[in-house]
Amino acid sequence: MGKMICKLLTLLANTLVYHFITLSAHFSPSSATIPTNFLFGAASSAYQYEGAYLSDGKGLNNWDVFTHKSGKIKDNSNGDVATDHYHHYLMDQQRPFLVTNNFLDLESCKQEDVKLMANMGLNSYRFSISWARILPKGRYGGINFAGIRFYSKLIDALLLRGIQPFVTLSHFDIPQELEDRYGGWLSPQLQEDFTYYADVCFKYFGDRVKHWVTFNEPNVAVVYGYRTGQYPPGRCSSSFGNCSQGDSEKEPFIAAHNIILAHAAVVNLYRTKYKEKQGGIVGIVLHALWLEPISESPSDKVAVERAQSFFMKWFLDPIMFGEYPAEMRKILGPNLPRFSNKDLKVLHTAADFIGINHYTSFYVRDCMYSACKYGRGVSWTEGHVQESNQSCSTNDLLNDGKRVEYMAGYLDALLRTISNGADVRGYFAWSLLDNFEWLEGYTKRFGLYHVDYATLKRSPKSSVSWYKEFIAKHRKQTILTEGENRSIDM
C-alpha cells in the first residue's frame, strides 16, 4: 500500500491531502528537509463551514436548496449554521462577545478560528468563497459588497497572523439562480458566469491572495450530480438512482466539458490580466485515487489505465494536453464533447499546479472483456479517518489516536517523496473543524478540532498537539539545515 501511495504523490506537483491512510513502511523524517516555503495548512469549504446562509445579502446556492429537500441528507440536516465560521473566524464587531460581571468572557475569545490556526503553527489556510455570497444572482445582479468585506477581513486576519490564504473559487456550490436560469453546468453560458465571478474575486482579493484554485474535485461533483444524482442538481437515469430527470450516459460529460473550459478561461484571464501585477498562481484540485491491477493479466493492467482515464485523466489530459484520453474517446464516441480550435487556444498547460485530494487506493479488475460481477452504476468508496457520533462520548472523540497514526504515516511518505526529488509544495489536513459532511450531514467528524454543534464550542483533539509538534519540529530542522548550508557556502 505504501508503495502505491508514494507513486501517486511523486506524479503530482502539489499535494492537498484531506484524508489519511496508514503506511506500513517506517521513515525517519530527519533524512529529508522540507522547503522553507512549504505550506502546512488545514482546509475547509464555504458551505460546510460558514453558515449564515442568508445573512448580509447572500443568495441561495444549489446546496441551500438541495439540503432543504427531505431525505437528501442522512440526518436531514443542512449547512444553514454549520460551524458558523462566518461569525467565529475572528473576534470583532461582527460577532457579539459575552460579558459576565463586567469581564470579557475569555473562553469566548479563545474560539476565534484564525487564532486556533495560528496556535497550531499553520502557515496556510485553504478555504472556498461562496459564489452566491459574492454574486447572489451571478451576472444577473450586482456584487454583494457585504460578502466582499467578509472575505477581505478573513484574508487580512490570516495574513496578520502569518497565514497565507489558499482560495478555492468553487467547492461544489453555484448560485441557484444560474441552475434555475439555464441548467447550471449543462449550459456553456455558465463558463461566462464563472469567468466573471473569478474576475471579481481577482480584482478585490488578488492583491493579497497568491494561491488560487478554480474547482475542487470536479471529477466527483459531475459524477454525483449528473450520473448518480446524489448531489445537486440531482440528475440521473433511472437505472443509476432515484431521479426525476437526467441522462447518466451523456450529462456528466457535458457538465465536465463546461467545467474544463471554465477553468481554462479563468487561468487565461488571470495570466493575461492579473498575473504580472499580482504575481499569483492558479491551479485545480482533483479527487485522486491510485489504482493497481488485481493480477498481472494484460486485461487487468489495461483496466487500470481505462479506470484512471475516466477519473483523473478525464480532467487533467484536456487541461495539460488539450484532448481527452484516447480510452474515453474510443468508448464514448459521440457522447464525449469535442474541443473546438478556439477552445484549444486556452487549453494546454492550463494550470500552474495540480492539487490532489487523496483518500485511498484500489485494486482494479477488468469487467469489460472478462467475466466480472457488475455493481450498480458507478460508485466511489472513500477511505478516510473519521469519527462517528454514534456511541461515542466527547472524550472518545477528542482522543483521536487513529488520526495521529494515519497523519504520521502519510507525512512520512510525503517526506520520502520530497527526498526523492518530488516537487511538493504543501499539505492541507482535512479539516480544521468538524463540519457538515455533505450527504452524511453531521454524523461524521473529520476535524482536528471537535465542534459541539449545540454550543459551537471548539475543542482540540489529540491530533492538534501532534500536528503542532510536527510542524514546529520540521521548521526547526529546515532552519538548522539551511544554516549549515550557508556556513559551508561561505
Q: Which residues carry out catalysis?
A: 217, 387
Cα–Cα separations (whole angstroms), residue 363 to 163, 301, 366, 367, 406? 39, 10, 10, 13, 21
What are the residues whose beta carbons fall under 8 Å from the beta carbon of 255, sequence distance 6 or more?
Answer: 184, 185, 186, 222, 225, 226
Residue 358, amino acid:
H
Phi and psi dihedrals of 439, rounded to 5? -65, -20
Buried b (16+ CB within 10 A) or exposed e, 321-357: ebebbebbeeeeeeebbebeeebeebbeebbbbbbbb
CA 193 to chain centre: 21
Q: Are 363 and 296 in contact (CB under 8 A)?
A: no
| Interatomic CA distance for residues 85 and 456, integer angstroms | 10
- Residue 457 CB-density burial (10 A; 0-12 exposed, 13-18 middle, 19+ buried): middle
DSSP letters for 25-75: S---GGG----TT-EEEEE--HHHH---TTGGGPPPBHHHHHHTSTTSSTT
Grid cell, residue 188, equals 456553456
